[in-house]
Structure 1
Amino acid sequence: MEKNLRTIEVQSFIDGERFSPYQWVILILCFLVVAADGFDTAAIGFIAPSLIGDWGITRAALGPVMSAALVGLGIGALVAGPAADRIGRKAVLALSVFFFGVWSLASAQASSVEALTAWRFLTGLGLGAAMPNAVTLMSEYAPARIRAMAVNAMFCGFSVGLSIGGLCAAWLIPHFGWQSVLVAGGVGPVVLTVLLLVLLPESAQFMVVSKRPAEKIVRVLRRISNDTRLAEGASLNFTAADTRASGADKSSLGLIVSRPYRFGTSMLWLAYFMGLMIFYLLTNWLPTLFKDAGFSAERAALTTSLFPLGGILGNLCLGWVMDKANPRRVNACAYVLAAALVLTIGRGVADQFWLAVLIFLTGTAVTSAVTSMSALAASFYPTRSRATGVAWMLGIGRMGAVAGAMTGGLLMSMGLQFGAVFTLLAVPAFVAAFALGALSRRDSAPLADSANQTV
């Protein structure tokens, strides 16, 4: 029997096969998880005016409600990553989506700002725990030749969910009240949980690293390929290419900050922090900036709406280029392009048409650069700590989102003009580009034989 034992390296096996219908199912399910985030982001913004009217509260009183989910997102990501590297991606993802839905349903029953804030925080915890596991699962089932493209395509779900959330809120609120939007945002994830449990597989690489039975791994790989090596009764031994580099003596969190990964981890965190800082500052404050610059309310809203429109196109294009070239340098170039665009806007653009074009291009560059960071993180870490690495980058990045919103308010209070604010945004863009450029100059991956060095 030993002579007939065949060894299959799982990632190489997946890389050598076409993108199968089963992998499309995985992509669609992960796409729906991200779409739930987009739906929730749009919904809470649309119900705010109704809350002010129904509860007789000020806009300032809604501040904690609007930010509670964002804080929960960060904490949920930090906790869920190590859990997924210990018990599995599928279990944590399904539980996260389920509780996200349940807590969204509970939010619809809130009768005070305090109660809604608490439920929104718990909703954010569930969603924050789900996102990094969707990224990790998708990256581990995508062939290397299209991995960045697949992960970025998955993140297009956010824009789709954003649009659906806005459309649903616009119809539901007049007919059924603001609570109906939160109910819709809760029912969807609960139904999605059932689909995840039935259709979504555990990561094949995780099953190898965690020494799951070979029969379970074979069952999954047969859905990807009918390779004769997977025939019934074959004696198989599965391996993961990065098993030896996974630092068996360290926890998943300890591994991502250990010597071989420490520099890369810090650069990924820095780049993502800066990227989200730019994204959320512009998302939250663009309408105000345009109104202060003399735009009418309608023109300000229309021009602002161009910022996220380029996200889908940018995600797919940048993902395609990342799969063809050095992905870190490609993403660094996207940040440089973003810096050049905000500097151009900051110098003053008299024609409103060209200003609109530049806002669209800025949104394309910033959104795709930030989105593609998840693919970079997933490719940087070994299987044993991949979910933790992705999750902690996402969690640290949420601090950048909060910093962006707060910085925008500070700049407004200082009385800085439209051009000055855009010019200053070039600083975090260049910092992010520098971080990824520094990382790309290092070895393309941490050395396997150094992974067990002391911290």
Structure 2
Amino acid sequence: MSSPAVVPRPTASAIDERPLTRVQLWTIVLCGIVIILDGFDTQCMGFLVPVISENLNIPLAAFGPVLSAALVGLMIAAMASGPIADRWGRRWVVIVSVFIFALFALLTARATTLNELLLYRFLTGLGLGGAMPNAVALTSEYTPRRLQPIVVGAIFVGMPAGALIASQAASVMIPLWGWRSVFVLGGVLPLVVAIALVKFLPESVEWKTHKSRTGVPVKHLFTEGRALGTLLLWVPFFMNLLVLYFILSWLPALLRQSGMPISAGVQAVAMFSVGGIIGTLTEGRVMTAIGARTVLVVEFVLCAVLIVMLANRASSLTPMLFATLVLGICVQGAQAGLNALAAMFYPTDVRATGIGWALGVGRIGSIVGPSLGGVLLSLRWTPKEILIAGIAPAACAALAIAVASRLPQRANAFR
């Protein structure tokens, strides 16, 4: 395929007025590949921990900080990279971020101690956290506004798809070449993609038009009538990723405590991931048809209902699998919708900052969720009680979206 460098690039106004061009499609595909790599690397550590623990003779309980390290790096980089991209451009922030997580994924493959794993996973997280919000911003700015919910939502199928690829790769590669080979693959692939990004990824036309803004980009999230909208947007980002990572981290263990076999937990996570793929693929079209507010509020209310169903049917396989499938559609579909909503809510000159900070706040939720499960277990809560506690964040997210949709400034993004 020809480089965009030799193909006329659409102007900012032409993007909204004309059908998608080859440059736009190529940009969207490249950004989607970046998100697939993010999903691969973010989830692969969870599959590998038992094998690494045995191979390096490190107690399983010691891996908690290692699992959190990448999430902390993601949070920091998501918040820091947005302002950088809004001042200096999206293209090179995406490219450098992909190079960073490629490098440290390869170094993780050489780790021999717990401290090395901790350091390399944190630094990998910095790369991952810088790549995603700017890939989202670039995608939204090369997509006609009428298609933004569909396209921005759809590229997030890369997260569950990347996790699915990681699980399949791990199951094949570990018996043949050991756990280190998975990290080698997780480093070589983004390295190849980063080289392709240097050649083919264009800079945002919208950003070039609006890059004259001076000052600290973060403060502009709270000016021009955006302050309350920003805070209300952060609430569902935090709450939804809290629920998402709580389910991924604790559902198998809670099902086991409820008397289900270990295989049921594996099936539940698989159904949750399948639901995530369905949800992310369909979210944008549904949002375009009936509005962001209606879709997101219904999804969060359904999350609460499904959590209650899951808590009461945790020992019955078929109802439990159905509940986790639909829960995956709602939770991961809602996350794709929130990402599209953030891209539509913020203007070009603070879009990467807005998306980055929203994802950064969400990453705090992704750290709190798994930790909260451990705390509640230590307090001797039953699996049913722990699952029912998930109603609260879902309800808070629904309420925040409902309130935000009534704001006068840029409220059309929430409707």
Would the TM-score normalized by the shorter structure come out above 0.5?
A: yes
User: How far apart are the structure 1 equivalents of 2:30 and 2:360?
Assistant: 22
The code of the aligned residue for 1:273 comes to: F
User: How far apart are the structure 2 equivalents of 1:159 and 1:407?
Assistant: 23
The code of the aligned residue for 2:261 comes to: S
**Larger displacement relative to structure 2 (410-419 or 305-314):** 410-419
Deviations 1:182-208 (A, max 9, x none): 111111111111111111110110011
The alpha carbon displacement at 1:444 in A equals 5.5
Partner of 2:7: none
Distance change >3 Å, CA 60–CA 141, structure 1 → 2: same
Partner of 2:349: 384
Aligned length: 403
The alpha carbon displacement at 1:423 in A equals 2.0
Partner of 1:64: 65
Which secondary structure state, in structure 1, belongs to the residue aligned with residue 202 of structure 2?
Answer: coil
Partner of 1:115: 116
In the alignment, structure 1 segments of 5+ residues that lack a partner are 1-8, 212-247, 448-455
Q: Does 1:265 align with 2:230?
A: yes
The code of the aligned residue for 2:279 comes to: G
Q: Does 1:253 align with 2:254?
A: no
Deviations 1:248-281 (A, max 9, x none): 4642111002251110110111111000111111
User: How far apart are the structure 1 equivalents of 2:247 and 2:83?
Assistant: 32
8 A contact 2:252–2:264 mirrored in 1: no
The alpha carbon displacement at 1:51 in A equals 1.6
1:315-326 alignment runs, 5 A limit: 315-326=280-291
The alpha carbon displacement at 1:349 in A equals 6.8
User: How far apart are the structure 1 equivalents of 2:323 and 2:13?
Assistant: 42
User: How far apart are the structure 1 equivalents of 2:129 and 2:76?
Assistant: 7
Which secondary structure state, in structure 2, belongs to the residue aligned with residue 260 of structure 1?
Answer: coil
User: How far apart are the structure 2 equivalents of 1:259 and 1:143?
Assistant: 24
User: How far apart are the structure 1 equivalents of 2:343 and 2:186?
Assistant: 28
Partner of 1:335: 300
The alpha carbon displacement at 1:33 in A equals 0.6
User: How far apart are the structure 2 equivalents of 1:94 and 1:351?
Assistant: 47
The alpha carbon displacement at 1:350 in A equals 6.8
8 A contact 2:85–2:134 mirrored in 1: yes
Partner of 2:248: 283
**Larger displacement relative to structure 2 (168-177 or 429-438):** 168-177
Partner of 2:408: 443
Distance change >3 Å, CA 166–CA 348, structure 1 → 2: closer
The alpha carbon displacement at 1:10 in A equals 4.7
User: How far apart are the structure 1 equivalents of 2:386 and 2:54?
Assistant: 33
8 A contact 1:260–1:446 mirrored in 2: no
8 A contact 1:141–1:203 mirrored in 2: yes
Partner of 1:91: 92
Partner of 2:264: 299
Which secondary structure state, in structure 1, belongs to the residue aligned with residue 187 of structure 2?
Answer: helix
The alpha carbon displacement at 1:300 in A equals 2.7
User: How far apart are the structure 1 equivalents of 2:228 and 2:240?
Assistant: 18
The code of the aligned residue for 2:290 comes to: A
User: Root-mean-square deviation (CA), in Å?
Assistant: 1.8
8 A contact 2:226–2:409 mirrored in 1: no
The code of the aligned residue for 1:158 comes to: M
Deviations 1:136-178 (A, max 9, x none): 0011111122111101111111122112111222222222222
The code of the aligned residue for 1:260 comes to: G
Compute the TM-score of the two structures, normalised by the length of structure 2. Answer: 0.93
Deviations 1:372-422 (A, max 9, x none): 211111111111110000000111111101110111112222222233223
Deviations 1:411-437 (A, max 9, x none): 222222233223221111010011111
Partner of 1:79: 80
8 A contact 2:95–2:194 mirrored in 1: yes
8 A contact 2:238–2:364 mirrored in 1: yes
Which secondary structure state, in structure 2, belongs to the residue aligned with residue 416 of structure 1?
Answer: coil
User: How far apart are the structure 2 equivalents of 1:305 and 1:412?
Assistant: 24
8 A contact 2:86–2:211 mirrored in 1: no
Q: Does 1:352 align with 2:317?
A: yes
Q: Percent identity?
A: 38
8 A contact 1:328–1:376 mirrored in 2: no
User: How far apart are the structure 2 equivalents of 1:11 and 1:346?
Assistant: 49
8 A contact 1:44–1:66 mirrored in 2: yes
The code of the aligned residue for 2:19 comes to: R
Partner of 1:46: 47
Partner of 1:129: 130
Partner of 2:384: 419
Name which one, 1 or 2, has greater alpha-carbon Rg: 1
The code of the aligned residue for 2:44 comes to: A
8 A contact 2:103–2:187 mirrored in 1: yes
The alpha carbon displacement at 1:11 in A equals 4.3
